[in-house]
Amino acid sequence: MAWIKIIDEKKAKGELAEVYNKISSARGKLSNIMRVHSLNPKAMDAHMELYLSIMFSKTSLDRSV
């Protein structure tokens, strides 16, 4: 099994703490897929923006399917 170093939420400082807080506030929790970006907060923030765009942007597709 692979192991990826992460920075725990309790130890996060500066930009990482801000991004953790932004994601936790918006989603109610911080998923493991986001935690793997903890060594690169800009990538974490970009990943979250991509996710939100894909999942919640207006689209012509019917979401009820």
Q: What are the residue ranges spanned by the domains of the chain?
A: 14-54
Question: What's the token pair of residue 57?
Answer: 């942007």
- pLDDT tier, 65 (very low <50, low <70, confident <90, very high otherwise): low
Its pTM stands at 0.77
Mean pLDDT for 30-44 is 93
Q: What is the pLDDT of residue 10?
A: 94
Better-scored residue on pLDDT, 27 or 24: 24
Exposure of 24 in the CB half-sphere (CA atoms within 13 A): 10
Residue 26 has pLDDT above 90, yes or no: no
Q: What is the pLDDT of residue 61?
A: 79
14: left (phi over 0), alpha (psi -120 to 50) or beta: left
Cα–Cα distance list, 41 to 3, 4, 7, 27, 44 (Å):
19, 15, 10, 17, 5
